[in-house]
């Protein structure tokens, strides 16, 4: 029987399902001979990754690819059975991502292009400059670029500026929320800001919280929701009833906020 995803979709750039893995079995052919393999069933092609985990998980990435993560010594029969059982779920999310990718505009880093910053769409204003800089200024992003710079260089410069803004602003938001809800006695051991491809945030079993620097592109209310979600994991490191009870106390409209997170793929 499938359990709740260990990583909820709102927190990730992919869809994920976990289930309890079957007991250890004998090796089954070449599928078990390495750490990474592949397979296909019906219209589903998937990669298999073996590790020292206890659950069997299926992830549909934003490019439509499917990854099955299993414990060592999981049989080929068990892998194909669970993929077959979840085929409707896999196909639904795979096709959803393919449709999203088809309809998404190709991001460009040219003069006049638009880019998100704290939930607002800002216009990139590029000027020639002997020294390179990026400034988030009201309704525009002012960028000084050396003459002849390639678009990919402009993109990298902008991403670097986003990371610096995230490192400047997210810690303040994080500790302000802890102070606001000090009666809950949240005590993270550390905070780290970094760019992640698959998660908006995470909380380790040792209380270390990581926030995705891409959050700087979202509206502050959504960023605060992610922070609160991770802080609640300090009390309940799962997604059980007690976790959602605590989340609802602090953030009663979390379901609406989670819906707004949908489609925010960068």
pLDDT for 75-101, tens place per residue? 989 999 989 999 999 998 888 877 766
Q: Identify whether residues 82 and 135 lie together within a single domain.
A: no
Q: Identify whether residues 96 and 131 lie together within a single domain.
A: no
Q: Tokens for 19?
A: 């289930």
**Final residue of a structural domain among 63, 80, 103:** 103
Q: Identify whether residues 137 and 253 lie together within a single domain.
A: yes
Q: Identify whether residues 228 and 162 lie together within a single domain.
A: yes
Q: What's the confidence (pLDDT) of residue 97?
A: 78
Contacts of 186 (CB under 8 A, 6+ apart): 178, 231, 234, 235
Q: Identify whether residues 136 and 69 lie together within a single domain.
A: no
- The verdict on residue 29 lying in a domain is yes
Identify which of 170, 104, 162 has the alpha carbon closest to the alpha carbon of residue 135: 162
Contacts of 240 (CB under 8 A, 6+ apart): 4
Q: The domain that contains 235 carries what CATH number?
A: 3.30.2010.10
**Final residue of a structural domain among 44, 72, 103:** 103
Q: What's the confidence (pLDDT) of residue 101?
A: 66
- The verdict on residue 143 lying in a domain is yes
Residues of the chain with pLDDT under 70: 1-40, 100-106, 263-266
Q: What's the confidence (pLDDT) of residue 93?
A: 85
**Final residue of a structural domain among 70, 103, 136:** 103
- The verdict on residue 108 lying in a domain is no
Coil vs helix vs strand at 176: helix
Number of domains composing the chain? 2
Q: Identify whether residues 57 and 128 lie together within a single domain.
A: no
Q: How far is CA 198 from the centre of its chain?
A: 3
- The verdict on residue 109 lying in a domain is no
Q: What's the confidence (pLDDT) of residue 108?
A: 87
- The verdict on residue 89 lying in a domain is yes
Which domain, by its residues, includes 61?
Answer: 2-103
Q: What's the confidence (pLDDT) of residue 171?
A: 98
48, burial (CB in 10 Å: exposed 0-12, middle 13-18, buried 19+): buried
pTM of the predicted model, to two decimals?
A: 0.67
- The verdict on residue 182 lying in a domain is yes
- The verdict on residue 51 lying in a domain is yes
Q: Identify whether residues 88 and 171 lie together within a single domain.
A: no
Q: Identify whether residues 207 and 160 lie together within a single domain.
A: yes
Q: Identify whether residues 187 and 74 lie together within a single domain.
A: no
Q: Identify whether residues 205 and 179 lie together within a single domain.
A: yes
CA distance 98 to 104: 10
Q: What's the confidence (pLDDT) of residue 20?
A: 54
Q: Identify whether residues 85 and 132 lie together within a single domain.
A: no
pLDDT for 108-136, tens place per residue? 899 999 999 999 999 999 999 989 999 99
Q: Identify whether residues 135 and 257 lie together within a single domain.
A: yes
């Amino acid at each position: 029987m499938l359990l709740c995803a260990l990583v909820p979709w709102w927190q990730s750039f992919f869809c994920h399902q976990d289930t309890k893995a079957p007991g250890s079995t004998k090796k089954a052919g070449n599928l078990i001979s390495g750490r990474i393999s592949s397979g296909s069933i019906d219209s589903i092609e998937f990669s298999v990754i073996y590790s020292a985990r206890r659950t069997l998980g299926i992830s549909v990435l934003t490019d439509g690819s499917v990854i099955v993560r299993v414990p060592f010594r999981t049989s080929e029969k068990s892998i194909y059975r669970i993929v077959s059982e979840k085929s409707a779920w896999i196909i639904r999310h795979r096709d959803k991502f393919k449709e999203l990718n088809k309809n998404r505009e190709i991001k460009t880093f040219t003069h006049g292009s638009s880019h998100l910053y704290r939930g607002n769409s800002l216009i990139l204003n590029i000027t020639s400059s002997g020294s390179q800089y990026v400034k988030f200024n009201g309704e525009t992003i002012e960028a000084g670029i050396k003459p002849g710079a390639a678009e990919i260089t402009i993109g990298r410069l902008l991403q670097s500026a986003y990371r610096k803004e995230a490192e400047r602003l997210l810690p303040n938001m994080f500790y302000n929320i802890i102070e606001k809800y000090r009666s809950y006695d949240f005590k993270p051991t550390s905070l780290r800001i970094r760019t992640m491809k698959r998660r908006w945030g995470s909380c380790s079993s040792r209380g270390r919280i990581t926030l995705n620097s891409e959050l700087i592109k979202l509206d502050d209310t959504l960023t605060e929701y992610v922070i609160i979600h991770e802080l609640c994991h300090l009390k309940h490191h799962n997604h059980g009833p007690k976790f959602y009870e605590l989340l609802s106390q602090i953030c009663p409209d979390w379901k609406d906020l989670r819906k707004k997170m949908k489609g925010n793929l960068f």
